[in-house]
Amino acid sequence: MLEILELRKRYGDKTALDGLSFAVRPGEVFGFVGQNGAGKTTTMRIVLGVLAADAGEVRWQGRPMDAAARRRTGYMPEERGLYPKMRVRDQLVYLARLHGLPADRAEASTDALLEQLGIADRGADKVEALSLGNQQRVQLAAALVHEPDLLVLDEPFSGLDPVGVDVLAAALRARVDTGVPVVFSSHQLELVERLCDSVGIIKDGRMVAAGGVDELRSRGGVRRLRVAVDAPAGWADGLPGVRVATGAAPDGAVVLELAPDVDDQAVLDAARRAGRVREFRPVARSLVDLFREAVAA
C-alpha cells in the first residue's frame, strides 16, 4: 500500500501542497485529477524522490519510501524523458538494468513489452525516429520494464489516439491484475472514470474529494433523473424537493435532481399528469460533474 501523509511543499510564496494525504491499495488504480497547477506533478515527483517535501511523508508497505523502494517503482514523468539518440531496445534494457534487473531478465522483459505494446519492429530504431505516439509507448515501457511493484504515471495518456489508449490501458491492467497499485494523473476524465477504481480530486494542494468512483457519484444521496415529457417547458417547476438541473435538451428532456426524501414515483406521476412520458431513467453523475463541483466549491 502506498500512503501519502500530510505532504507540504512551497515554492517561494506559492503553496504547491497544503497537507495532501491519500492512500492507494494493492491492485488498485487511483486516478489523480485536478486543474493545472493543483499539485499533481509535485506530489508524484516527491513520491519518486526527485523533489523533496517540506513536510509530510510517503510510506510504502508500511515503511518510509526509500531508494530501494523507488528502484522498484515505475515512473513516467510529465515531461517525457528518454535519450533521443539511443536505440529503443538498448534504452529499455539499460533502464531495466539501472533498476537492478540482471541482463537476461532485462532483455526478456524488454522484448515482451515491445511485443505487448505493438512496437516490436521498432526496437533497433532510435527513439527520435519514432512517431510521438510510439515514443509514448516506449515511455510507458520504460516505466514497466523493470517489473515494478508500484506505478506512478503522470499524464500517461496525453497525446495518444484511441488505439494507443487501449494498448496502454491493457498493459496497465495486466500489471494491476498482479497486485501492482497504480497512481496516474489525467485531464481526460472519462478515461479516469473508465480505468480507475478510485479517484482523488486535488485543488490548491489539498485533496477535496477521494474515494471509489461509485461511492463519489452517490455521495450526498442526490439522485438524478432524465425525463422527457411531451409538455411545455417548466412542467417540473415547483415540484417539492426537485430541482431542474439542466435546460431542455434538443429532444425536450431535462435532468432533475431529487432531494433524498423525494419519492421518484411521485415525480413520475407528476410527469404523466403533464403529458406523455417518452423517457424516464436515473442518470449517474459523471466524473466531469463531480470534478466541476469539487473545483468550484
Partner 1 sequence: MSAPAPTRPQAPELSSGAAVRLVARREFVERGRDRSFLVSTAVTLLILLAVTVISQLAGGDDDSYDVGLSGAATAAAPGLQAQAEALDVEIDVRDVSPDEARTLVRDGDLDAALLAPGSAVVKEELEGTLRAVLEQASAALVGEERLRERGLDPAQVRAALDVEPLQIEALDPPDEDADRRQGIAFVGTLLLYGQVFGYGFWVALGVVEEKSSRVVEVLLATVSPRALLTGKILGIGLLGLAQLLALAVVGVTVAVATGAVDLGSEVVTPLALVLGWFLLGYAFYATAFAAAAARVSRQEDLQNVTTPMTLVILGSFFAAIWASSSPDEPLARVLAIVPPFSVLVNPPRTAAGDVAAWEIVLAVALMVGAIVALATFAARLYEGAVLRTGAALSWREAWRGRHR
Tell me how far, at minimum, the Cβ of 104 lies from partner 1, in Å: 12
Task: Return the bridge partners of 58, or none.
Answer: 4
- Site track for partner 1 across 161-200, x = CB under 8 A: -----------------xxx--------------------
CA angle 34/38/42 to nearest 5° reads 110
| By the rule CB under 8 A, 282 interacts with partner 1 | no
Q: Rank residues 85 and 281 by Cβ distance to partner 1 and give the closer one.
A: 85
- Site track for partner 1 across 206-245, x = CB under 8 A: ----------------------------------------
How many residues form the binding site for partner 1 (CB under 8 A)?
A: 45
Q: Under a CB-based contact definition with an 8 Å cutoff, are residues 258 and 267 in contact?
A: yes
Tell me how far, at minimum, the Cβ of 265 lies from partner 1, in Å: 43
Q: Rank residues 131 and 218 by Cβ distance to partner 1 and give the closer one.
A: 131
**Cα(60)–Cα(47) distance, rounded to whole angstroms?**
10
Residue 55's H or E segment, with its range, is strand 55-60
Q: What is the per-residue burial (b if ≥16 Cβ within 10 Å, else e) of 163-197?
A: ebbebbbebbeebbeeebbbbbbbebbebbbebbb
Q: Which stretch binds partner 1 (CB under 8 A): 10-18, 145-153, 186-194, 216-224?
A: 145-153
CA nearest to 192, candidates 29, 4, 20: 29
Give the residue, chosen from 9, 137, 146, 217, that forms a contact with partner 1 under the rule CB under 8 A.
146
| By the rule CB under 8 A, 155 interacts with partner 1 | no
Q: Rank residues 39 and 74 by Cβ distance to partner 1 and give the closer one.
A: 74
**Cα(194)–Cα(294) distance, rounded to whole angstroms?**
19
| By the rule CB under 8 A, 144 interacts with partner 1 | no
- Site track for partner 1 across 34-63, x = CB under 8 A: -----------x--xxxxx--------xx-
User: Three-state SS for 231?
Assistant: coil
Tell me how far, at minimum, the Cβ of 168 lies from partner 1, in Å: 17
**Cα(285)–Cα(122) distance, rounded to whole angstroms?**
42
Q: On the CB side of 142, how many CA atoms lie within 13 Å of its CA? A: 23
| By the rule CB under 8 A, 27 interacts with partner 1 | yes
Locate cell 439542466: which residue? 246
User: Three-state SS for 81?
Assistant: coil
User: Three-state SS for 3?
Assistant: strand
Q: Which residues bind partner 1 (CB under 8 A)?
A: 1, 25-27, 45, 48-52, 61-62, 67-68, 70-73, 75, 77, 79-86, 90, 94-95, 97-102, 105, 142, 146-147, 149, 178-180
